[in-house]
Structure formats: structure tokens, C-alpha cells
């Protein structure tokens, strides 16, 4: 029987980030468990109604062979936008040249089912309440009095992360400039349907699926805090915007969020790591939070797995911070800019109109479309071929065993060396246990988002997260260094 109190990795929080990370670790055969405060995957607040996957997130799910589970439940559409200016990415060189509208509650359910298939234990209805680190691991206190032992603890426990606070990691940033109420309710008078921007931001009253009940989005006159707004707060905000509360009653759901933006100063404190909202929070405009959380998890998962299994040094974890912290910082800035652009005073409206004009031009549309959909991510892995540090495109390959998609090669979250040149010209025998190696042919053109066509490489080393770690020019120059630094020193035979 397995020991319920000992795991290689414990994750605090089974939101989208924690679930994705658990899946990644389980694929790498790491003994991982999640501690989750909620009894079920149901969401109590505004996040239940949030939702949307951007193109790169759909791609990373496709790399694990599970994208279809999400696509079949949501609605494929152009979701990328900047301050509500739509950015059409349908001409982008990706199989998923669109986003997906799907409620976060459903996204979490699909992720939870996947993690269950991978047999990750989730200790539900329990909180991580404290922890202490020592030389070899972390002792984690759980709310039922139990204590768990893990080699690493990952805080995927959301914006108010206890793990972040207890690790003493600073969370600097910007105070909220606006707070919003979201609600679902009935109204005895006919409401003023549609969007109504004002000088602070947007407001809107929309019909729910039954055509009668109302979905409400209101910015509040004064910035308010607290997750649990009252019916009076809702009435007051309605009257402030519309001059009436339309006889609001039967509120089945009411929630508040703000545009506060903060980022953890460090994503790691020895054996404790942070990912998702625990590492960065910002307003929901642009729909980035869940997406970058899931992608944090995909960046961290394989690295942590290698460190835990002893095939890579602990310093590999530093690259998680170097690669993902700038992405979080960029999203914070993009969100601040959008909040500013969405104020409805005349001057800001004029600025918004100008920005809309600008984003209709091809080059700005592509740049911003790629940024908002996550397709332009470039980890700085040094100078070289443009593919280096960028996402590997999902090419249709011809291999010795028939046609294969690149993403299908990544399903088990192992690195892949793809030799597209002279067959068997590369020798990676000392890494053969760790890196999948294959000869393939590809005759089409190589296209990257924003950059356009790039020179065809002779070989590529693809990390488990789908980013290119090395590009070959017909020789193995630099290959062994890249293999050693990402996947550990060569096996001694
Ligand atoms: C109105 C709104 C709209 C949004 N729209 C979008 C959108 O369209 N697209 C997008 O990408 N993002 C959107 N977001 C952001 C998105 O909801 C978050 O970024 C996302 O939930 C972050 O996921 P997470 O797993 O990191 O954290 P969370 O979802 O916050 O999950 C943290 C989990 O940890 C648990 N937990 C907390 N403390 C403990 C503890 N001590 N012990 C054990 N468990 C604990 C919690 O119960 C929770 O399940 C929106 C947010 C809001 C408010």
C-alpha cells in the first residue's frame, strides 16, 4: 500500500494550474498529490462564469492528446482581443488558429477527469495550513491535523496564496483602480439591455440562456474589496449606473473582482514553488489568467519531474523563474494598459478608437494577436535559428512508421529529437533512455506566427513543453551541450 502521507510533490490547490501541473508530473511518473480546500470542483465565484482558452493553451493540451476533450465542449471562435478590440488570428500558422469559449467550471471538470485517469490522489475538503522546509523536504500541515511530507511543495493556491505568504515571498504590484460586480438575477422591470460604458469602465445587462433572467456586469463608484458583496451593493451599483435597480430579485449568484495587479517577486523559495494566480494576479480583461497558469504548469512540470528523479540538477528549476516571470510581467502590463483603455471618458474613447484603427493594420494585428493568444512566446535560449526558444509547430511529418503529427510525439511529455536531415546522422545514445529520437521528413514550409517563413532546420530538439531547445544545421554542434543542460549528463555505459 502507498503511504498517504509521503509524496515526491504536493500541490496546494486543484484549480486549473494545480490540475495541469499534477497531470504533467503524473505523466513523468512522479508521485504527486493535491490538497484542495473545495469539496468538489464547483466554483463559488466569478471564475465559474469566466472562461476561454487561447490558441497556445489549446496547443499545449493538444501536445498531451487531450485538446479534443475541451474543443468538443466549448465553442471555437476568435477570442483574442485587446481592450475588447478583436484580433482575428484565423490566418495564423497553427492548427488551432482560434480560441475556445468554455466556462472555467467546465475546463476544471475536464482537467480533473484527466488527472483522475492519471491516478493522482486529490485530498479534497482540506487546506494546507502551514509548512516548514528542511534540507531534504517540506513538512506540510493539513487542516485535519495530518502532516504530509514532500520533497517539493507547489503553491497553486490562487491569488491569496497561503504558500506564497508563508514562504515569505513578496507580492508587489498595483492596488485596484476599479472593482466590478457580476451577478445573475431576475428583474421585475424591463432592463436596459446591452453594454453601457461610463467614464470608469464598462457595464452591461445581458439575457441569460432562458431569455428572461439577467446577467449583470457593473463597475462600482468606489473601489470595493471583499469577495462577498451583498444584495445592497448590487442595488446601489445598479442605481448609480441606470438610476434604478429594475426591481432586482432572486439573485442566484453574485461576485466581485478588481483590476489589482501583483506578481510574486520570486517563483521559488528553495523547495517551495509558485504557479498560476499564486504567482500573478491581474484584471480579467484579455482572458489571460487561467491560460498563463496552465502554461506555467507545463513549463514547470517536466523540470520538477527531472529534478525529483535526480536526472537533472536543482538549478534546472531556476529556468522556470527566468522563463515564466517575464511572461507574467508582460501580462500584468498588458492588463493595466487595457483597463486604462476601457475607461469611457471622451479622451480615452478617442484613444481607444485610434488603437482600434491601428490594430486593424496587418502587422500590429499579428503582433498583438500572437501576444494575446500566447503564440509568440520566446524563451531566451541564446542566439541562433529563430525556432530556438520558440514553440515547435505541429507539422505533418512522414516517419518510418507512417505519417505523424509533431504534437502526437509529445503526448507522453518526453523530449524529442527530430532528425529531418540525413537519417541516423545524429548519435544521442547516452541520452537514449531519456530522449525520444526519430528520423522524419517534412517537405512543407516552416512558418512561425508573426515572423513568417523561416529556414528549414536539419534537426530540432523539442522539450516536453513543446519549446525548441536546439536547432541543427546538419551537424551535431551544440547538441550534446543542450541535451546535458536540459536533460542531465550523459549515461555512463
Ligand atoms: C470575472 C473573471 C473572469 C476571468 N476570465 C478569464 C478568462 O476568460 N480567461 C482566463 O484565462 N482567465 C480568466 N480569469 C482568471 C482565472 O479565473 C484565474 O486566473 C484562474 O482561476 C487561476 O487558476 P489557478 O489554478 O492558478 O488558481 P485558482 O483558480 O484560484 O485555484 C486555486 C485553488 O486553490 C485552492 N486553495 C486555496 N488555498 C488553499 C489552501 N490553503 N489549501 C488547499 N487549497 C487551497 C482553491 O480552493 C482553488 O481551488 C478570470 C477571472 C475572473 C475573476
Among protein residues, the one with the nearest Cα to ligand 1's atom 39 is 157
Q: How far is the CA of 384 from the centre of ligand 1 (A)?
A: 37
pLDDT at residue number 44? 72
Q: pLDDT tens, position by position, for the chain (493 residues)?
A: 456 689 999 999 999 999 999 999 999 999 999 999 999 888 877 677 777 999 999 999 999 999 999 999 999 999 999 999 999 999 999 999 999 999 999 999 999 999 999 999 999 999 999 999 999 999 999 999 999 999 999 999 999 999 999 999 999 999 999 999 999 999 999 999 999 989 889 999 999 888 889 999 999 999 998 878 999 999 999 999 999 999 999 999 899 999 999 999 999 999 999 999 999 999 999 999 999 999 999 999 999 999 999 989 999 999 999 999 999 999 999 999 999 999 989 999 999 999 999 999 999 999 999 999 999 999 999 999 999 999 999 999 999 999 999 999 999 999 999 999 988 789 899 999 999 999 999 999 999 999 999 999 999 999 999 999 999 999 999 999 999 999 988 887 5
Burial class (CB in 10 A: 0-12, 13-18, 19+), 397: buried
Whole-structure pTM value: 0.96
Distance CA 235, CA 232 (A): 5
Measured from the Cβ of residue 337, the count of other Cβ atoms closer than 10 Å reads 15
Among protein residues, the one with the nearest Cα to ligand 1's atom 4 is 50
Q: How far is the CA of 47 from the centre of ligand 1 (A)?
A: 7
pLDDT at residue number 493? 58
Ligand 1 is surrounded, with C-beta below 6 A, by 12-18, 35-38, 46-47, 50-52, 104, 127-128, 156-158, 162, 182, 257, 276-277, 284, 287-291, 293
- Mutate which of 12, 13, 260, 262 for ligand 1? The one with the most ligand atoms within 8 Å of its CB, which is 13
Q: How far is the CA of 379 from the centre of ligand 1 (A)?
A: 25
Q: How far is the CA of 475 from the centre of ligand 1 (A)?
A: 46
pLDDT at residue number 341? 94
- Mutate which of 18, 50, 254 for ligand 1? The one with the most ligand atoms within 8 Å of its CB, which is 50
Among protein residues, the one with the nearest Cα to ligand 1's atom 5 is 50
pLDDT at residue number 42? 86
Amino acid at each position: 500500500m502507498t503511504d498517504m502521507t509521503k509524496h515526491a510533490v504536493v500541490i496546494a490547490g486543484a484549480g486549473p494550474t494545480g490540475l495541469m501541473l499534477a497531470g504533467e508530473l503524473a505523466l513523468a511518473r512522479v508521485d504527486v498529490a493535491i490538497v484542495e480546500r473545495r469539496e468538489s470542483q464547483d466554483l463559488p465565484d466569478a471564475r465559474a462564469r469566466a472562461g476561454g482558452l487561447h490558441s497556445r493553451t489549446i496547443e499545449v493540451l493538444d501536445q498531451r492528446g487531450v485538446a479534443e476533450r475541451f474543443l468538443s465542449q466549448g465553442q471555437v471562435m476568435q477570442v483574442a482581443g485587446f481592450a475588447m478590440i478583436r484580433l482575428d488570428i484565423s490566418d495564423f500558422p497553427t492548427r488551432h488558429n482560434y480560441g475556445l469559449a468554455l466556462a472555467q467550471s467546465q475546463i476544471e471538470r475536464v482537467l480533473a477527469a484527466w488527472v483522475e485517469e492519471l491516478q493522482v490522489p486529490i485530498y479534497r475538503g482540506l487546506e494546507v495550513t502551514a509548512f516548514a522546509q528542511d534540507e531534504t523536504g517540506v513538512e506540510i500541515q493539513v487542516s485535519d491535523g495530518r502532516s504530509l511530507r514532500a520533497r517539493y511543495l507547489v503553491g497553486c493556491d490562487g491569488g491569496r496564496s497561503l504558500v506564497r505568504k508563508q514562504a515569505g515571498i513578496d507580492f508587489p504590484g498595483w492596488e485596484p483602480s476599479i472593482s466590478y460586480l457580476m451577478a445573475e438575477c431576475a428583474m421585475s422591470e424591463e432592463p436596459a439591455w446591452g453594454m453601457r460604458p461610463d467614464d470608469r469602465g464598462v457595464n452591461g445587462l445581458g439575457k441569460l440562456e432562458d431569455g428572461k433572467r439577467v446577467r449583470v456586469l457593473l463597475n462600482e463608484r468606489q473601489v470595493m474589496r471583499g469577495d462577498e458583496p451583498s444584495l445592497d451593493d448590487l442595488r446601489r451599483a445598479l442605481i448609480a449606473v441606470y438610476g434604478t435597480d429594475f426591481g432586482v430579485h432572486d439573485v442566484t449568484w453574485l461576485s466581485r473582482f478588481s483590476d489589482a495587479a501583483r506578481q510574486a517577486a520570486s517563483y521559488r523559495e528553495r523547495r517551495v514553488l509558485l504557479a498560476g494566480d499564486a504567482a500573478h494576479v491581474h484584471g480579467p480583461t484579455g482572458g489571460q489568467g487561467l491560460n498563463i497558469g496552465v502554461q506555467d504548469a507545463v513549463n514547470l512540470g517536466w523540470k520538477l519531474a527531472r529534478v525529483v528523479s535526480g536526472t537533472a540538477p536543482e538549478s534546472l528549476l531556476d529556468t522556470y523563474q527566468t522563463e515564466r516571470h517575464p511572461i507574467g510581467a508582460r501580462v500584468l502590463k498588458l492588463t493595466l494598459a487595457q483597463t486604462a483603455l476601457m475607461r469611457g471618458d471622451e479622451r480615452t474613447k478617442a484613444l481607444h478608437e485610434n488603437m482600434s484603427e491601428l490594430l486593424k493594420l496587418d502587422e500590429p494585428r499579428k503582433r498583438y494577436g500572437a501576444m494575446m493568444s500566447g503564440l509568440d512566446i520566446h524563451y531566451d535560449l541564446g542566439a541562433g535559428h529563430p525556432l530556438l526558444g520558440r514553440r515547435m509547430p505541429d507539422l505533418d511529418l512522414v516517419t518510418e512508421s507512417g505519417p505523424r503529427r509533431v504534437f502526437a510525439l509529445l503526448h507522453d511529455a518526453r523530449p524529442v529529437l527530430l532528425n529531418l536531415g540525413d537519417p541516423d546522422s545524429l548519435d544521442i545514445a547516452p541520452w537514449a533512455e531519456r530522449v525520444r529520437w526519430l528520423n522524419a521528413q517534412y517537405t512543407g514550409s516552416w512558418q512561425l506566427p508573426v515572423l513568417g517563413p523561416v529556414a528549414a532546420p536539419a534537426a530540432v530538439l523539442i522539450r516536453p513543453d513543446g519549446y525548441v531547445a536546439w536547432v541543427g544545421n546538419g551537424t551535431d554542434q551544440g547538441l550534446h551541450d543542450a541535451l546535458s543542460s536540459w536533460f542531465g549528463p550523459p549515461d555512463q555505459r
